[in-house]
Amino acid sequence: MLSSQVRAIVKSTVPLLETGGEALTTHFYKMMLTEYPQVRPLFNQAHQASGDQARALANGVLMYARHIDQLEVLGPLVSRIVAKHVALQILPEHYPIVGDCLLRSIREVLGEDIATDEVIDAWAQAYELLAGLLIGSEEEVYAASAEAPGGWRGARGFIVERKVAESEEITSFHLVPEDGGAVLDFAPGQFIGLRLDIDGEEARRNYSLSAAANGRSYRISVKREPGGKVSNFLHDRVGEGDRIELFAPAGDFILRPGRKPLVLITAGVGITPALAMLEVAQHSDRPIHFIHCARNGAVHAFRDWVENIAAQRQNFRHFVCYSEPSQSDRADATGFLTLERLSGWLPAERDLDAYFLGPKPFMAQVKKHLKTLGVPDGQCHYEFFGPASALDS
């Protein structure tokens, strides 16, 4: 445990982190990725270039400093961090690297007059405590995944059994284990980590599992991102019969059991985890509303599959909104998902469970709309495809 003096010193840096946290974490990443190239595969360089990764870390460091007296408040944040770390296989040996660069960045960005030896020592103790918590939590997940039926630890070889174009932008990869064994079960909504060799350079990415667990294979559905190193490699250079390596499923954005009406709200490739949720939920007796937004029909993946469920199941409503429809497109609405439109598509009873995923501006708007429409905050669930950040509402 940290002493009261150490906690007080860490909390005293909160105002500095509020104004200069992003500069600090930007400096941190530049230092770490330059001096420790072995950790570069753990980070999406597009998120580095956009600043999203630095902003997410700055927010995490700030939250830790603010709540250093009440670490239990950070439970949801820690769970998200652990899930992302597990999917990318962050290991104990990575933490001293992060600690070294973080402490040096604090000293170099804040300056020796502010980042005194006392401040650096306090932050060193605070980081050691946090690292210990994360390492312990991550090891619990690694051990559980290894011991479960079909589970494993570290990387496991998989073969692309099928590659299916789902739209002009999204392609699915059906993956079976190279060893012919069973695969670990997972909760709908979770993701899986990939380790790839791209022209001699290692790259790791997380992708949502887009079909429910079946014990023998996994499916991911990948959107081709303009300039995306990994997505373009998968689309253009990975084919049926090729081998890739996977880390065990992880993630805390999962479909929770319940009997309340279920509303799945997605945009673009955000549909992928909702597909696994729908595949499982369709066998329950709860009402389901599935709302999907896309630019047009050409990029709308899995529409036929969802409509097939809608045709066979009672208490299921399916709505489609296209922002840039073509002349031949069929949609329930055009433009964006406005408050009025969402209000008409939700169940009349607002005591419901809502899961939503898509681009950050879309999620921020949906979160705001759900709050305005009276859906309880604790029943609104969302996930980020990249580094987590705050959704303004």
What residues does each domain of the chain span? 4-147, 156-250, 262-382
93 part of the active site:
no
What residues form DSSP beta bridges with 245? 157, 195
206 is in an annotated binding site: yes
319 is in an annotated binding site: no
Per-residue pLDDT of the chain (393 residues; tens, 9 = 90+): 899 999 999 999 999 898 888 899 999 999 999 999 999 888 876 666 667 778 788 888 888 898 888 888 777 778 888 988 998 899 999 999 999 999 999 999 999 889 999 999 999 999 999 999 999 999 999 999 999 999 999 999 999 999 999 999 999 999 999 999 999 999 999 999 999 999 999 999 999 999 999 999 999 999 999 999 999 999 999 999 999 999 999 998 999 999 999 999 999 999 999 999 999 999 999 999 999 999 999 999 999 999 999 999 999 999 999 999 999 999 999 999 999 999 999 999 999 999 999 999 999 999 999 999 999 999 999 987 655 555 554
Q: Going along 261-335, which residue ranges are E strands?
A: 262-267, 288-294, 316-322, 333-334
**386 backbone φψ class: left, alpha, beta (φ>0; ψ -120 to 50):** beta
- Check residue 390 and give its pLDDT: 54
- Check residue 1 and give its pLDDT: 82
Give the residue from 33, 52, 25 showing the smallest Cα distance to 360. Answer: 52
Give domain 262-382's CATH number out of 3.30.70.20, 3.40.50.300, 3.40.50.80, 3.30.70.360.
3.40.50.80
**374 backbone φψ class: left, alpha, beta (φ>0; ψ -120 to 50):** left
- pTM, two decimals, is 0.90
Give the residue from 295, 84, 293, 90 showing the smallest Cα distance to 207. Answer: 84
Tell me which CATH code domain 4-147 carries.
1.10.490.10
- Check residue 31 and give its pLDDT: 93
Q: Which residue has the tokens 């073509």?
A: 326
- Check residue 9 and give its pLDDT: 94
Catalytic residue among 138, 166, 169, 383: 138
Give the residue from 104, 95, 101 showing the smallest Cα distance to 128. Answer: 95
CA distance 17 to 102: 13
Asked if 211 and 248 count as a contact pair (C-beta separation under 8 A), the reply is no
**CB-based contacts of 82: which residues, under 8 Å, 6+ apart?**
134, 137, 138, 141
Asked if 266 and 361 count as a contact pair (C-beta separation under 8 A), the reply is no
Same fold yes or no, 156-250 and 262-382: no
- Check residue 393 and give its pLDDT: 42
The DSSP secondary structure of 103-142, one letter per residue, reads HHHHHHHH-TTTS-HHHHHHHHHHHHHHHHHHHHHHHHHH
CA distance 23 to 25: 6
97 is in an annotated binding site: no
Tell me which CATH code domain 156-250 carries.
2.40.30.10
385 is in an annotated binding site: yes
3-state DSSP assignment of residue 387: coil
DSSP alpha helices (H): ranges in 244-337?
271-281, 303-312
383 part of the active site:
no
271 is in an annotated binding site: yes
Catalytic residue among 95, 161, 225, 245: 95
